[in-house]
Amino acid sequence: MANTAKLKITLVKSLIGRLESHKACARGLGLKRMHQTVEVIDTPENRGMINKISYLLKCEA
């Protein structure tokens, strides 16, 4: 597992007024505030959360 692919994601839009499930996805990815960047492992679960709130994120490989 030394060669694990990671994704860099940044929250670029506010979570205020969003659906609770969308806020939960952001928290699940480790995003707490705007312009925060985190690295997550490229798994189907993380991809699903990223796809669900893609309109809030900027994603890099």
Mean pLDDT of the chain: 95
Closest to 38 (Cα-Cα) out of 10, 6, 2, 4: 10
Element (H, E) at 22: helix 20-28
Q: Which residues pair with 60 in a beta bridge?
A: 8
Asked whether the predicted pLDDT for residue 41 surpasses 60, the reply is yes
What residue type is 46 in one-letter code?
N
Q: What is the mean pLDDT of residues 46-61?
A: 96
For the domain 6-60, what is the CATH code? 3.30.1390.20
Q: What is the pLDDT of residues 4-32, one digit of tens each?
A: 899 999 999 999 999 999 999 999 999 99
